Each structure stands twice: as C-alpha cells, then as structure tokens.
Amino acid sequence: MGDELFYNCKFGVLQYVLIIPVCAVIAFITIAAGAYEGPEWYVCCMCLCLFLCLYLSLCLCLRLRV
C-alpha cells in the first residue's frame, strides 16, 4: 500500500501543480486581450471557465487517485 499511496499522492500533486500555472497564464492572456471580465458570474465569462477548470482538476485529484 505504501508505493500505491505514494504514486497516487504524487500524481494528484503534479496534476494540480501543472493546472494552476496554466490557468494563471490563460488568465493573464485574457486580461491583456480584454476578454477577462473579473469576478462577474455569468455563463460565458472567462472567470467562470477558469474557476471550473481549477475546481474540476482538484476534484479529479482527490476523487480518482487518493
């Protein structure tokens, strides 16, 4: 169980650590392009898309691997 737990924890941490910078770069690009609306929550806003991407990544890390 020790090796499997270590692998699962490593996979979850690496997945989450890789998703955070990617979403940050996307946020910076959309802010520069004028497409990022800030904390306004409606269906097609970039803030909502980034939030869902981060939340789903976190859920997958916790649910599928650990």
DSSP of the chain: -HHHHHHHHHHHHHHHHHHHHHHHHHHHHHHHHT----S---TT-HHHHHHHHHHHHHHHIIIII-
pLDDT digits (tens, 9 = 90+) for 4-21: 777 777 777 777 788 888
Q: How many domains does the chain have?
A: 1
**Predicted local confidence at residue 1, as pLDDT:** 65
39 within some domain:
yes
54 within some domain:
yes
45 within some domain:
yes
Q: 35 is in which domain, residue-wise? A: 11-65
**Predicted local confidence at residue 52, as pLDDT:** 83
3 within some domain:
no
Query: Do you know the residue count of the chain?
Result: 66
In the structure, what pLDDT confidence band is assigned to residue 56 with cuts at 50, 70 and 90?
confident
Rounded Cα gap, residues 24 and 63, in angstroms: 23
Using the predicted structure, report yes or no on whether residue 46 has a pLDDT greater than 70: yes
Using the predicted structure, report yes or no on whether residue 44 has a pLDDT greater than 70: no
